[in-house]
Amino acid sequence: MTVETPNGFTLDNSGRRIVVDPVTRIEGHMRIEVNVDENNVVRNAVSTGTMWRGIEVILKNRDPRDAWAFTERICGVCTGTHALTSVRAVENALGITIPDNANSIRNLMQLALQVHDHVVHFYHLHALDWVDVVSALSADPKATSALMQSVSDWSLSSPGYFKDIQSRLKKFVASGQLGPFKYGYWGNASYKLPSEVNLMAVAHYLEALDFQKEIVKIHAIFGGKNPHPNWLVGGVPCPINIDGTGAVGAVNIERLNMVASIIDQLIEFNDKVYIPDIMTIGSYYKDWLYGGGLSAKSVLAYGDVPEHANDYSDASLKLPGGAIINGKFAEVHPVNLADPEQIQEFVTHSWYKYPDGSDGLHPWDGVTEPHFELGPNAKGNKTHIQQLDEGAKYSWIKAPRWRGNAMEVGPLARWIVGYAQNKAEFKDPVDKLLKDLGLPFSALFSTLGRTAARALESQWAGYQMRHFHNKLIANIKAGDMSTANVDKWKSETWPKEVKGVGFTEAPRGALAHWIKIKHCKIDNYQCVVPTTWNGSPRDTAGNIGAFEASLMDTPMSDPAQPLEILRTIHSFDPCLACSTHVMSPDGQEMARVQVR
Ligand code: NFE
Ligand code: MG
């Protein structure tokens, strides 16, 4: 049957159905189903979150000042970002301000997360969709060294170094215990890199694995630990004690110098490894420009990284906010999260129930009531679902919409918004990257574009970290040691009923929490997270979500090896732990790949 969606896609579910479950190298549990035509081109796509957690429900009646610690446990990957969003929501509700130092430290922590998450995503969750590890075994280490030295002056580039890496890889393969490399589709025709590029990328996979643990020390310095650093309503929970005396764990000059050194290292890694790898690998996949989906139509960002403490206006936010709909890039709409007309969540195709008569609900009035049922056309039984029924409820992810539109969020969305607003710091690197690769502007709206935007953002974030570190030092030198305002901590001063919203740009995209406080307790708490936007199922009107849209019209070289599906879905860096935050009670049996 063929269906036209309101957001401009033609869905045809008459061809062969292919099920990928679970999708691996992501956080959480997800399943993708597609129908392919006789040429193995995707003509219908169904994306579903297969777990339920219920954090929003757990928060009811708790102290709003504790909400950050619960919401932070939504995820250990985008660690800290839910806590930051939560303290901002409570501060917004209660009119609490934070000191300048706290703003710089929060930005340093959030930007450190961006770099850590983007580096780990590219090398450890996504690169193997493009890089054939087995092919690296046949590379010439000398030629690999020459290649590396032609693209970067990174110090780890000698023939001996690559020979060593290759020997380690050979031993690993000979042991038969392939670990994370076990289920790759090695040798698939969609892998296009010469052996030397594969070996270079494998070396960087290992280097990034080592390096990522350095980045998170920034969280440990300011927040006590990682994952799940500590946060505080009204500031940050770390005193500054510059001469090293006083409180145990206080931030002193030695710690601040360590942060500066990690920032220098991550800037160098971005400049000399991550960006050159994107350019080198990208140059072999210039023809693979699928997966654009909603990016060319409707993108959304809330903005983040305030230059000035307590100023969340567009003028202060260094990451841009705005909404673009139906490909009209000349018009970037302002986003108001408090406006019930703008953001609504739909559950027509999600395993939840709304009170009678309601359709889309604004998060302040949001309801999280699980309601698992399979549609009449789902095939299989309760323990082994062979096929979901996308005409009915089919996901634990709700369907958020901006003015009724399905939106893509994430690094690419942010960079498109910045580009559309003519901001040089976003426009120039995109133009340069496209020019260097010899690609047209339209190439940005693709799986590759999404992956490249993330790398550009990692680079951008490193320089912003240097800026906020300098700002922090200057402020301390000027005599300001304050890191928290606790003047409004006395709940007797709070209004009886009040509500607030806090937002951030998490690594995967726009994130907001809405809170309603009644008699000093949480009355309602709703999180709408990046993967809820991107991984959303159909809504009441029939609009498909960003993951689903991105898979449409993609040709597959071998549907029994759904590498193309993984490439595109991984380019969003999905996190189902975040998006469902709320498993099938029966626990569905998980097949790796089923092709019928
Ligand atoms: Ni669990 Fe998260 C991010 C949030 S979800 S990773 O980034 O918020 O998409
Ligand atoms: Mg939610």
- The encoded tokens of residue 399 equal 């369907």
Between the CA of 56 and the centroid of ligand 2 the distance, in Å, is: 7
| Mean pLDDT calculated for residue range 498-507 | 98
Between the CA of 97 and the centroid of ligand 2 the distance, in Å, is: 26
Give 212's Cβ-side CA count (13 Å radius).
Answer: 23
Nearest atom (ligand 1) to Cα of 85: 8
Residue 121 lies in a domain: yes
Question: What percent of the chain stands above pLDDT 70?
Answer: 96
Residue 465 lies in a domain: yes
Burial class (CB in 10 A: 0-12, 13-18, 19+), 472: buried
The answer, yes or no, to whether any atom of ligand 1 lies below 6 A from the CB of 199, is no
> Measuring CA to CA, which residue among 590, 589, 577, 587 is closest to residue 53?
577
Pick from 56, 73, 77 the residue to mutate for probing ligand 1's pocket: most ligand atoms within 8 Å of its CB. Answer: 77
Torsion angles phi and psi, residue 527, rounded to 5: -115, 130
pLDDT confidence of residue 581 = 56
Between the CA of 442 and the centroid of ligand 1 the distance, in Å, is: 27
Element (H or E) spanning 565, and its range? helix 563-570
Between the CA of 352 and the centroid of ligand 2 the distance, in Å, is: 11
Q: pLDDT per residue over 166-198, tens digit each? A: 999 999 888 887 777 877 888 898 999 999 999
pTM here?
0.95
pLDDT confidence of residue 18 = 92
**In this structure, how many other beta carbons lie within 10 angstroms of the beta carbon of residue 227?**
16
* Structural domains in the chain (count): 1
| Mean pLDDT calculated for residue range 98-108 | 98
- The encoded tokens of residue 594 equal 């089923």
Residue 534 lies in a domain: no
Give 209's Cβ-side CA count (13 Å radius).
Answer: 10
Burial class (CB in 10 A: 0-12, 13-18, 19+), 193: buried
3-class DSSP state of 270: helix
Give the structural domain span for 247.
97-184+194-291+448-479
Residue 233 lies in a domain: yes
> Measuring CA to CA, which residue among 594, 591, 596 is closest to residue 383?
591
| Amino acid letter, 439 | L
Cα separation of 311 and 314, whole Å?
9
Question: Nearest C-alpha to atom 8 of ligand 1 is from which residue?
Answer: 529
The answer, yes or no, to whether any atom of ligand 1 lies below 6 A from the CB of 81, is yes
Does the structure show a pLDDT above 50 at 453? yes
Q: pLDDT per residue over 526-574, tens digit each? A: 999 999 999 999 999 999 999 999 999 999 999 889 999 999 999 999 9
Question: What distance lies between CA 333 and its chain's CA centroid?
Answer: 22
Residue 408 lies in a domain: no
Cα separation of 575 and 596, whole Å?
27
Pick from 27, 86, 503, 531 the residue to mutate for probing ligand 1's pocket: most ligand atoms within 8 Å of its CB. Answer: 531
pLDDT confidence of residue 181 = 80
Cα separation of 152 and 58, whole Å?
50
Cα separation of 273 and 295, whole Å?
27
Residue 138 lies in a domain: yes
pLDDT confidence of residue 472 = 98
pLDDT confidence of residue 141 = 98
pLDDT confidence of residue 76 = 85
Torsion angles phi and psi, residue 346, rounded to 5: -110, 150
- Rounded to whole angstroms, what are the CA distances from 530 to 278, 506, 578? 24, 7, 8
pLDDT confidence of residue 583 = 38
Residue 472 lies in a domain: yes
Residue 238 lies in a domain: yes
Nearest atom (ligand 1) to Cα of 507: 7
238 is in an annotated binding site: no
Q: Radius of gyration over alpha carbons of the chain, in Å?
A: 24
Question: What distance lies between CA 436 and its chain's CA centroid?
Answer: 26
Q: What is the DSSP letter of 134?
A: G
Distance, first Cα to last Cα, the chain: 18
Torsion angles phi and psi, residue 502, rounded to 5: -125, 145
pLDDT confidence of residue 314 = 95
- The encoded tokens of residue 94 equal 């209660």
Nearest atom (ligand 1) to Cα of 532: 9
CATH number of the domain bearing residue 150: 1.10.645.10
The answer, yes or no, to whether any atom of ligand 1 lies below 6 A from the CB of 576, is no
Does the structure show a pLDDT above 90 at 53? no
Q: pLDDT per residue over 314-345, tens digit each? A: 999 999 999 999 999 999 999 999 999 999 99
Q: What is the DSSP letter of 171?
A: H
Between the CA of 535 and the centroid of ligand 2 the distance, in Å, is: 13
- Rounded to whole angstroms, what are the CA distances from 127 to 43, 203, 251, 347, 448? 26, 12, 37, 34, 12
Does the structure show a pLDDT above 60 at 483? yes
Q: What is the 3-state secondary structure (H, E, C) of 509-556?
A: EEEEEEEEEECCEEEEEEEECHHHHHCCCCCCCCCCCHHHHHHCCCEC
| Mean pLDDT calculated for residue range 363-379 | 91
Q: pLDDT per residue over 206-216, tens digit each? A: 999 999 999 99
Cα separation of 547 and 535, whole Å?
5
The answer, yes or no, to whether any atom of ligand 1 lies below 6 A from the CB of 77, is yes
pLDDT confidence of residue 566 = 94
Q: What is the DSSP letter of 422?
A: T
Between the CA of 408 and the centroid of ligand 1 the distance, in Å, is: 14
The answer, yes or no, to whether any atom of ligand 1 lies below 6 A from the CB of 507, is yes
pLDDT band for position 243 (cuts 50, 70, 90): confident
> Measuring CA to CA, which residue among 145, 168, 262, 251 is closest to residue 212?
262
DSSP for 11-52 reads EE--SEEEEE-S--SSBS-EEEEEEE-TT-BEEEEEEEE---
527 is in an annotated binding site: no
Cα separation of 46 and 34, whole Å?
6
